[in-house]
């Protein structure tokens, strides 16, 4: 079975966080000081109860600015924010909740799909009791695509060709350029070609896979019965 990068290997363990009672200005200060765009909000047991981002702060600032320019009204249903209310704004009022989180043993691909599906730029990493252990960002996940081509080639040979398919290291020629893998050689059946191509696509750092494989079993040029199948991008971007 192929190995995949886990969130725990990419996450930042030392996380800048706040509590629900942290004032607006202190939240903004921590974001600026640490050059980050969002941070988790923790309860007294270090459990993640929400996430507050630059966007949350900007929305609140915009509401405050509108209330200053407009009629000086405040209260339920007016849409305005009084000065006292602005002074009392805390992380607990600003945050998006419940927080979208992941566990350290989840794969990078799963984390990436969660980010895309939930439209978030960062994911707090929690343990089995939802306590914070780290944080992972989109930039962190993109690091898998910085894996050098020689390393990708070696891992495809060792983990796909040898460990999973049970073939000799030189049974299939593996070429990698800019994360794009090309497989050349002959396998026993079309089914083996499909399996090898799928496994190679799932490897961390692989952008796309082209197979130029032949199947000895039925004499076809490839599993699809054509001269070459190429350019299939890796689903989910990892």
Q: 6-40 pLDDT, tens per residue?
A: 899 899 999 999 999 999 999 999 999 999 999 99
This prediction has a pTM of 0.63
- Between the alpha carbon of residue 143 and those of residues 11, 25, 119, the distances in Å are 11, 32, 19
| Chain mean pLDDT for the chain | 84
The vertex-93 CA angle with 89 and 97, nearest 5°, equals 160
What pLDDT does residue 218 have?
59
Least confident of 52-66, 81-95, 156-170, 211-225: 211-225
Q: Exposure of 94 by Cβ count < 10 A (0-12 exposed, 13-18 middle, 19+ buried)? A: buried
């Amino acid at each position: 079975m192929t190995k995949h990068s886990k969130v725990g290997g990419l996450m930042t363990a030392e996380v800048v966080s706040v509590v629900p009672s942290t004032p607006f200005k202190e939240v903004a200060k921590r974001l600026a000081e640490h050059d980050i765009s969002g941070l988790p909000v923790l309860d007294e047991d270090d459990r993640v109860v929400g996430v507050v981002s630059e966007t949350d702060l900007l929305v609140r600032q915009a509401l405050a600015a509108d209330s200053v320019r407009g009629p000086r009204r405040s209260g339920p249903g007016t849409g305005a924010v009084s000065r006292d209310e602005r002074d009392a704004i805390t992380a607990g009022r600003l945050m998006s909740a419940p927080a979208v989180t992941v566990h350290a043993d989840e794969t990078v691909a799963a984390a990436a799909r969660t980010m895309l599906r939930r439209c978030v730029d960062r994911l707090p990493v929690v343990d089995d009791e939802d306590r914070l252990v780290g944080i992972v960002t989109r930039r962190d996940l993109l690091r898998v695509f910085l894996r050098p081509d020689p390393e990708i080639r070696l891992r495809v040979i060792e983990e796909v060709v040898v460990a999973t398919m049970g073939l000799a290291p030189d049974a299939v020629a593996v070429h990698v350029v800019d994360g794009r893998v090309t497989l050349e050689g002959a396998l026993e059946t079309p089914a083996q070609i499909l399996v090898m191509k799928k496994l190679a696509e799932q490897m961390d750092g692989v952008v796309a896979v082209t197979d130029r494989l032949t199947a000895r079993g039925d004499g076809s040029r490839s599993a699809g019965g054509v001269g070459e199948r190429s350019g299939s991008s890796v689903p989910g971007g990892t």
